[in-house]
Structure 1
Amino acid sequence: MGTFLLLMAEASAVASELAEEAGNGGFGLNTDIFDTNLINLAIIITVLFVFGRKVLGKTLTTRRENIETAIKNAEQRAAQAAQQLKEAQQKLAQAQAEAERIKAAAQENAQAAGEAILAQATVDIERLQAAGAADLSTELDKAIAQLRQRVVVQALQKVESELKSGIADDAQQILIERSIAQLGGEV
């Protein structure tokens, strides 16, 4: 409406300038607003109202439909985003539960492995102790056998030295009789 008044004021100013020039002799315009400009303005306003209303109505209807479509699309995207968030939260909860299960299983496996290692170490220690005891027993038997062998060697050496020095006749006679008795004969 303010634009209409501005146009009307401009038209009056132009008309008065033209009227002054017409009075100077030349081209003239009728400056009576009610005769000329009011009819023109009424026609222009009517045309704008009739055709502009349709165009403006179509434009506003199109704009309204676009806005409604955009709002519906935004609501759909928001619903999809909420659904995706819900699914992601469920997956996160499942992943955390799986991680806890894996962690618990790993701790159980570590504990079982530790116990198995301790049991194996105990078995190995017992085996090593048994092997050590067996080695000690074997070494003891070897030492006893060596001592016996030395005693036999020393006894033989003593007997040889006594034999070399000679045996008394009655001792020789006793030795011969014993040997015969052992062989199963009579003296």
Structure 2
Amino acid sequence: MGIMGTFLLLATEAMAEGAAEGGFGLNLDILETNVINLAILIGILFYFGRKVLSNILNERQANIATAIQEAEERLKEAQTAFSQAQAQVIQAEAEAQKILKAAEENAQAVTAATLAQAAQDVERLKQTAASDLNTERERALAELRQRVAALALQKVESQLRSGIADDVQQAIIDRSIAQVGGS
């Protein structure tokens, strides 16, 4: 007896004991256990179920392939959009650099123009101050001359009132004659 025979013998004894005790056992009677019915049912399921199962699996495979293609297309679109966005970022950075450079040049030009205008304003203020100073100096000198002339006239009047000494009169007359004779 081989291993199978030993196994069947043990199973039969265990069933007999199990049936006698009301416990668990193995029923090896093919007709009673419906093994034939189960084999036919499994065969029918395998024969017809294989077509249904293969159809389901083929459909599932097609759905997965379609989903993969769509995902790849979305990936390509995303990569294209990403590369376009990168190009736009590079272009925007270049434009920002141009704007920054133009702003710096404009700021330098405005600074130079402001400094030139300030220099002109300072020069004009210097000229105005010098002109005002000259005008004020001339006015002060004119006023001083007037005062000196007024004081000289007062002195002459006071001397004339007090009388001129003879020697001073003679000197004035001689000087006047010399000036008239010299001209």
Q: Quick check: TM above 0.5? A: yes
Give 1:42 shift: 4.1
Evaluate the alpha carbon distance shift between residue 64 and residue 30 of structure 1 in structure 2; reply closer, same or farther with a 3 A threshold: closer
Aligned to 2:159: 162
Aligned to 1:63: 60
Evaluate the alpha carbon distance shift between residue 30 and residue 158 of structure 1 in structure 2; reply closer, same or farther with a 3 A threshold: closer
Matched, 1:129 2:126: yes
CA distance in 2, matches of 1:130, 1:58: 105
Aligned to 2:71: 74
* Alignment equivalent of 2:100, drawn from 95, 100, 103: 103
CA distance in 2, matches of 1:168, 1:111: 80
Q: Which runs of 5+ in 1 are unaligned?
A: 1-12, 22-28, 176-187
Please tell me the residue identity of whatever aligns with 1:154. Answer: L
Matched, 1:148 2:148: no
Give 1:168 shift: 8.1
Evaluate the alpha carbon distance shift between residue 57 and residue 162 of structure 1 in structure 2; reply closer, same or farther with a 3 A threshold: same
CA distance in 1, matches of 2:42, 2:149: 152
Please tell me the residue identity of whatever aligns with 1:47. Answer: I
Evaluate the alpha carbon distance shift between residue 38 and residue 161 of structure 1 in structure 2; reply closer, same or farther with a 3 A threshold: closer
Give 1:45 shift: 3.1
Give 1:53 shift: 0.8
Give 1:167 shift: 5.8
Matched, 1:45 2:42: yes
Give 1:38 shift: 6.2
Q: How many residues align?
A: 152
Please tell me the residue identity of whatever aligns with 2:109. Answer: A
CA distance in 2, matches of 1:168, 1:37: 180
CA distance in 2, matches of 1:143, 1:50: 134
Percent identity (aligned): 53
Aligned to 2:8: none
